[in-house]
Chain A
Amino acid sequence: MINEIRNKVKELLETKRVECVIGYERATDNLTARPVFIYEPSQVDRLIFDETCVHNLSKYLLNRKDKPTGIVTKPCDSRGINLLLNESQLHRENLFIIGVVCSGVKKVRFNRIEDSLPTKCQYCPQHTPPLYDFLIGEPVTETSPRNYADVIKIEEMTSKERKMFWSGHFDRCIRCYGCRQACVGCYCYECFVDELDPLWVGIRIAPDENWVWNIGRAFHLSARCIACNECERVCPVNIPLMLINRKLEKDTLRLFEFEPGVNAEVIPPFATFKKEENLGVSE
């Protein structure tokens, strides 16, 4: 599989179809992976692809909007590219997407590979990338049924229990904004948390502000989060962020029958208004 990827990347660079290909290489711990930017055909042997390749590389495309770029994607990552295309953040003609059929990645931290699946793989709905120019691996057409067992467990808590649960986690938040920086859907030039005038959250790192930050960000991602798990993976204090995102994903599915990132063409629910949505306003 890796030779197929390397050969394709070499071809793309040699024919100058792209200036750069974003993929994965081995990290300094010799165990896990890290993003790599390949500019020269001679460098393609650095590329790897295995179950330690957990990163979502699609966000890097935002730094290279006008430059022809190739990218190696898993299904969840290419949903991210669909999201960006849908929101007119990328030019399709500048992209060459090498999609890889994926059977899941491992839960990794530096120097440690846990023998368990991250949340996104536990509940992964599709193993074939929805968007690609070149496919590596045999396409898998079956999709797994949706499963929200982890969200239902929290929904079944009382309001007070839920508040305690989340306070216990948000109290640890140090507002590093790793979640925001790693998220493909968070690309506002000025994030609401950095706005001074009006001041929504500000810089204070304290429980109240942490609630507004985490919940505010989650809401800004409703019907947009493509469940790549990056926010949860990068969090240095282990806040289970995917629980919130998946709750909103579950609600969006129920209310609007909408799955983000599956199709770059469909208009997302929060970017449109339908008359049938009776607001009680007279004609």
Chain B
Amino acid sequence: MVTANPFIPYSATLIKVTDLTPDIKLHNLQLNDSALQDKFDYKPGQFAFLSAYGVGEAPFGFVSLAYQESGIEFAVRRIGTVTRALHELEPGAKIGVRGPFGNHFPLEDYKGKNILIIGGGIGMAPLRPVINFILDHRDDYGDLLIINGARTPKDLVFTNEFDTWSKAPRTRLELTVDRSDNKWQGRVALVPEVVKELKPSPVNTIAITCGPPIMIRFVLVRLKELKFANEQIVTTLEQKMKCGMGKCARCNVGDKYVCQDGPVFTFDQISKFLEQY
């Protein structure tokens, strides 16, 4: 849903800010126009631009589910000028939202299948609403295996949901870190190695992965070794974006615009040009 002028963001107010990790915050906001807020619809996989007025805009994937009515949520990692400005905002601050843009995970098509979620660091963010959607519609899906990794234990995101996730029926949560700290009791391994260790079966399974480009590359190698077909591997890509609607010709991976044909892609759609990623 877009305004008459797709370059103009909706006015919104920041409701709540939660620290997820030392450099990632969860921003919860609401559109100022309540009629618009009620109608605002988006699906897991889509993204929107958040405007820190006076600094700029950056794209973020939605991490909440539209039907949950708990506000619109984004996970923001502080890494550049815009994200630094967003991190300085406090509840009550004015913020702009432009979107939703992009395609979404075709969760309808995955009904009846087993789902394998492989996330690294901030890459878990666009996968969180997928997990929560599946848990809300548990009987529609098969087994759910979640592999969630991060650089160190304090970089793991959504830790307060781990309990809900691991206790859900036919659901398994496997955590891992690249480097341990003094208190970590769990697994210490790179995410692709965990995929190799757990040997998930490709039978009737969709693998959805998101994380740093180098992690995606190696996870792909492991999944191919386990005989996953290209159409069974789904990822969401990130590229530099400005307009979000296929006009500024910047975000393409090969012939696909991440903002319009993506950000959700199956591996067979992008394998030709993946070296450019």
User: Do chains A and B stick together as partners?
Assistant: yes
B56-75: which have CB < 8 Å to A?
56
B61-105: which have CB < 8 Å to A?
81
Question: How many angstroms between the C-alpha atoms of A196 and B54 in the bound complex?
Answer: 12
Interface string of A191-202 (1 = CB under 8 A from B): 000001100000
Please count how many residues in chain A sit with their CB below 8 Å of the partner chain's CB atoms: 2
B203-217: which have CB < 8 Å to A?
none
Chain A residues positioned under 8 Å from B81 (CB to CB): 196-197
Chain B residues positioned under 8 Å from A196 (CB to CB): 56, 81
Min C-beta distance of B152 to chain A, whole Å: 28
Min C-beta distance of A102 to chain B, whole Å: 42
Number of contact residues on B: which range applies?
under 10
Question: How many angstroms between the C-alpha atoms of A197 and B83 in the bound complex?
Answer: 13
Min C-beta distance of A103 to chain B, whole Å: 46
Min C-beta distance of B199 to chain A, whole Å: 45
Chain B residues positioned under 8 Å from A197 (CB to CB): 81
Question: How many angstroms between the C-alpha atoms of A25 and B56 in the bound complex?
Answer: 45
Question: How many angstroms between the C-alpha atoms of A196 and B81 in the bound complex?
Answer: 8
A174-221: which have CB < 8 Å to B?
196-197
Q: For B80, give the chain A residue with the smallest CB separation.
A: A196
Question: How many angstroms between the C-alpha atoms of A196 and B84 in the bound complex?
Answer: 13
Q: For B56, give the chain A residue with the smallest CB separation.
A: A196
Min C-beta distance of A202 to chain B, whole Å: 11
Question: How many angstroms between the C-alpha atoms of A196 and B56 in the bound complex?
Answer: 10
Question: How many angstroms between the C-alpha atoms of A197 and B54 in the bound complex?
Answer: 12
Chain A residues positioned under 8 Å from B56 (CB to CB): 196
Min C-beta distance of B3 to chain A, whole Å: 24
Question: How many angstroms between the C-alpha atoms of A196 and B82 in the bound complex?
Answer: 10
Q: For A196, give the chain B residue with the smallest CB separation.
A: B81
B20-79: which have CB < 8 Å to A?
56
Min C-beta distance of B57 to chain A, whole Å: 13
Min C-beta distance of B267 to chain A, whole Å: 34
Min C-beta distance of A39 to chain B, whole Å: 24
Question: How many angstroms between the C-alpha atoms of A197 and B81 in the bound complex?
Answer: 8
Q: For B84, give the chain A residue with the smallest CB separation.
A: A197
Question: How many angstroms between the C-alpha atoms of A196 and B80 in the bound complex?
Answer: 10
Min C-beta distance of B242 to chain A, whole Å: 11
Question: How many angstroms between the C-alpha atoms of A238 and B110 in the bound complex?
Answer: 60
Min C-beta distance of B35 to chain A, whole Å: 35
Residues of B participating in the A interface, judged by any CB pair closer than 8 Å: 56, 81
3 CB-based A-B contacts, threshold 8 Å: A196-B56, A196-B81, A197-B81
